[in-house]
Amino acid sequence: MSEPKTKPTDASVEDFLASVEPARRREEARTVCALMQAVTGDAPVMWGPSIVGFGRYTYVNGTNKPADWPRIGFSPRKAALTLYIMPGFQTQAALLDRLGPHTTSVSCLYIKRLDQVDMEALRALCEWSFEEMKRRYP
């Protein structure tokens, strides 16, 4: 049986964020990290080599095995900041309309430039997501 690759580590979040290139993406990552920490009240934790997560919940995956994942998190990828938020966040159409340029998948929000985003809308979306995750996975 294989171990999940994405799990919490003892790696330094600050060291990871300091290594993000280019500088603009590094500063965006620090901004999103501070926002998520304020929203959750949790300290950031590295999940695998490139995801910064906040909180934790356990779900049953497609093979009926329990797996842990952060309640909310992000990764400063080269193409875009990837935010891992509650599946179904697309129901928050008013917030997404206010947000600014972005793309989505099932539980990911992709932002190419944080300076083009309405930060109040982003914060509200993160707050909704975190509260919904706590409700669904107490």
Burial of 56 (C-beta count, 10 Å sphere; 0-12/13-18/19+): middle
Q: pLDDT tens across 41-65, in order?
A: 999 999 999 999 999 999 887 788 8
Q: Which residue has the tokens 């539980």?
A: 107
Q: Where are the domains of the chain?
A: 13-130
What confidence tier does 5 reach under pLDDT thresholds 50, 70, 90?
confident
Q: Which two tokens stand for residue 92?
A: 């928050």
Please state the pTM of the whole predicted model. 0.93
**Fold of the domain spanning 13-130:** Aspartate Aminotransferase, domain 1 (3.90.1150)
- pLDDT tens digits for 91-119? 899 999 999 999 999 889 999 999 999 99
Cα–Cα distance measured from residue 30 to residue 17, given in angstroms and rounded to the nearest whole number: 7
**pLDDT tier for residue 6 given thresholds of 50, 70 and 90:** confident
DSSP state of 29: H
